[in-house]
Structure 1
Amino acid sequence: MTRPRARDLGLPFPGTPGPLNAITDVPGVAVGFCTLTDPAKKMRTGVTAILPRPGTEPQPVWAGHYALNGNGEMTGTHWINDAGYFLGPILITNTHGVGAAHTGATRWVVGHYADYFANHHAWAMPVVAETYDGVLNDINALFVQPEHAIAALEARSFGPVAEGSTGGGNGMITYEFKGGTGTSSRRITLGGQDYTVAALVQANHGIRPWLTILGKPVGELIPDGAFYGTEMGSIIVILATDAPLSGLALRQLAKRAALGIGRGGTPGGNNSGDIFLAFSTGNPGPMPQFAPPLTARQELNIELLDDLYLAAVQSVEEAVVNAMVAGEDVPTVKPEGRTCRALDHTRLREIFAG
């Protein structure tokens, strides 16, 4: 059964999405999942993989990073802040799965770029991010293993992206509704060229009274089933674009994810890790150590990027709602005996029909 997305319910999100309304609308970007579910073991977790560049030739992925609230983890960002790029995939999992996912990603990268690692003094520094799924999953059982990260990478696809309880989003809660993985994209034109900017989120943040969707106080209008009372989660946002951008512009783009999640009502709670990464598939080329002394890269004039920033904000806003719309009722494991409810589609339709 294919579940509807937010636009299918009549929510009038602004902007023009790409054909899939997903991060895979950015040419070359692939997404894969390994989803682990076993109610008998109190297991509901997994790994999400994003691969920015196809092929087995190592190429830098130009990137920028921003943390609105640091109560969380995203590995590799110190190097991104210094060098402006990373190599290989991005993985998102649960808080206690970061080490296992990092090991799996390293094994995969070493194999995927086999010649590079065999014949050069190459090193892997994967980007691995997390949010806490300990309400719906026995996080202390350490279910996520390196092979699950590899499985997510091997399952990568350039097509539609499954949302909700998929991959690392499997055990996540958003505004006290079942949340998880969500994605959206926007098409824009700058300088006579068409570009795509898109978001993938692992949404695990917010409390019910905060929730606002396109200006409607949805959390107040659908209060049923709320059980947190205080912020207990986080959100990871990955922004992708094919627009050629400088490292400075990519950092500025990553910052706009904060405005995107803010449209949903969160103030960035103290217990939330709100961590964002923006990357560009523009300017393909060799790893810097193999490049000539003088290099040239194209980049859009930062004075002309307002439409790109707006597209990022819109993509993040819609991706979070898509994560909730894809949710289903799930029993809690800590505390036991409760249910994390899905966002009621009928009531959401009624709110926007009125």
Structure 2
Amino acid sequence: MTDAAPQGRLRARSLGVAAGALPTGPLNAITDVDGVLVGHATVDDGADLHTGVTAVVPPRLGLPAAVHTGNGYGKLVGSTQVDELGVLESPIVLTATLSVFRAADAVLTYLMRLRPDGLSFNPLVGETNDGFLSDIRRRPITEQHVLDALEGACGGLPAEGCVGAGTGTTALGYKAGIGTSSRRLVADGAPVTVGALVQANFGGVLTVQGTPMPVEEVLPGVRHEEPPGNSCMIVVATDARLDARRLGRLARRAIFAMGRVGASYAHGSGDYAIAFTTAPPQRPPLPDDRLDPVFAAVMDAVEESLLNSLFTATTTTGVHGHTSHAVPYDRLPIRPGTGG
């Protein structure tokens, strides 16, 4: 398994932190689900712009899917049609709040190129507010950024932390970003992989394996500012035999998992989960009473994805001199080298 984050920061397991007892996939990433690709486009001028685009590209369109809204204070373009039909007709694109509409139009360009004879398309684009570190009103995301993320999407371990749609995000008092994780299990006698990817940008007190790490105590002398517009986007991919209704049950568990790391679920936190399956549609879905191990896998994968989004992020100073600090490893409740 790959433990080192691409930016030189460490993933949770390298720091002795693992969520749950289930094994991970070989990459411990959403791309462990066969055919799922991830791409990023990062906009970072080292000063006032820290933003970008992250794309999760399924192996094909028309897959069973569901959306769960934990708190609807946000913008998830295309979600109502997924609710209505239970079908994913688009890659999933994540970006900054005020760029979500330009991103949706760019996904439309992408889909029209894929289907030159199509008359209707449903781009699925979500966001979090990175305005604490990035000059969000400049709306710097262009069509080309979105197309770069989509067309550059690939397998392998996705970059995490301050990259793509996570470049300017903060969570639980610290610098956060993109994080991913996966789990493998057996459900109803069949092997199953569950993968998650998060764009973390929400409030609360960071909690690592039950131990609170309030920023005021962990970083004495650092003035903690709670950024406005806190939110979280969660994407869950699996190869389990599930229909849209059962995928909705998975998506709800993904939102629940935020509580494990200390989420406050505040008034202004737009928290959404999107779940889809790559399983062939002709196979009968898993019975509801066989879903418990899949639920556990979702909860664990999302929890570890959230921790990876924090542990791989680097201290960032952005617009108006605002600074978001990285989680210090020496204050974690489990020290490096003690985990699996």
Q: Given the two structures, how large is their TM-score scaled by the length of structure 1?
A: 0.88
The answer to whether the 8 A contact 1:205-1:231 is kept is no
Deviation at 1:39? Answer: 2.5
- Residue 2 in 1 paired to residue 4 in 2? no
The answer to whether the 8 A contact 1:198-1:312 is kept is yes
Residue in structure 2 matched with residue 94 of structure 1 by the alignment = 96
The answer to whether the 8 A contact 1:231-1:269 is kept is no
- Residue 340 in 1 paired to residue 324 in 2? yes
- Residue 175 in 1 paired to residue 175 in 2? no
Residue in structure 2 matched with residue 217 of structure 1 by the alignment = 212
The answer to whether the 8 A contact 2:165-2:178 is kept is yes
Residue in structure 2 matched with residue 198 of structure 1 by the alignment = 195
1:85-123, Cα deviation, whole Å (9 max, x unpaired): 02120000000111111111111111123xxx32xx531
Structure 2 unaligned regions, length at least 5: 1-6
224-233 or 99-108, which deviates more: 224-233
The answer to whether the 8 A contact 1:200-1:238 is kept is yes
- Residue 52 in 1 paired to residue 42 in 2? no
Deviation at 1:231? Answer: 6.2
1:31 aligned residue (33, 38, 56): 38
The answer to whether the 8 A contact 1:92-1:168 is kept is yes
308-317 or 228-237, which deviates more: 228-237
The answer to whether the 8 A contact 2:11-2:312 is kept is yes
In 2, Cα distance between equivalents of 1:314 and 1:44? 29
Deviation at 1:13? Answer: 2.5
Deviation at 1:131? Answer: 0.1
* Equivalent residue pairs, number: 328
Q: Which has the larger radius of gyration?
A: 1
Residue in structure 1 matched with residue 291 of structure 2 by the alignment = 305
In 1, Cα distance between equivalents of 2:334 and 2:272? 33
Residue in structure 1 matched with residue 276 of structure 2 by the alignment = 279
In 2, Cα distance between equivalents of 1:337 and 1:22? 33
The answer to whether the 8 A contact 1:93-1:101 is kept is yes
The answer to whether the 8 A contact 1:206-1:231 is kept is no
1:65-96, Cα deviation, whole Å (9 max, x unpaired): 11111111111111111111021200000001
In 2, Cα distance between equivalents of 1:351 and 1:20? 22
The answer to whether the 8 A contact 1:9-1:349 is kept is no
The answer to whether the 8 A contact 2:16-2:334 is kept is no
Structure 1 unaligned regions, length at least 5: 285-295
Q: Given the two structures, how large is their TM-score scaled by the length of structure 2?
A: 0.92
1:265 aligned residue (262, 265, 268): 262
Deviation at 1:159? Answer: 0.8
Deviation at 1:226? Answer: 5.0
Residue in structure 2 matched with residue 62 of structure 1 by the alignment = 64
1:158-169 pair list within 5 angstroms:
158-169=155-166
Which SS does the other structure have where 1:36 is aligned? Answer: strand
Residue in structure 2 matched with residue 293 of structure 1 by the alignment = none
2:122 aligned residue (106, 122, 125): 125
Deviation at 1:264? Answer: 0.8
In 1, Cα distance between equivalents of 2:119 and 2:33? 28
- Residue 20 in 1 paired to residue 27 in 2? yes
Deviation at 1:222? Answer: 1.5
The letter of the residue matching 1:112 is L
The answer to whether the 8 A contact 1:34-1:47 is kept is yes
Deviation at 1:274? Answer: 0.6
Deviation at 1:230? Answer: 7.2
Residue in structure 1 matched with residue 142 of structure 2 by the alignment = 145
1:239 aligned residue (227, 236, 240): 236
The letter of the residue matching 1:68 is G
2-11 or 24-33, which deviates more: 2-11
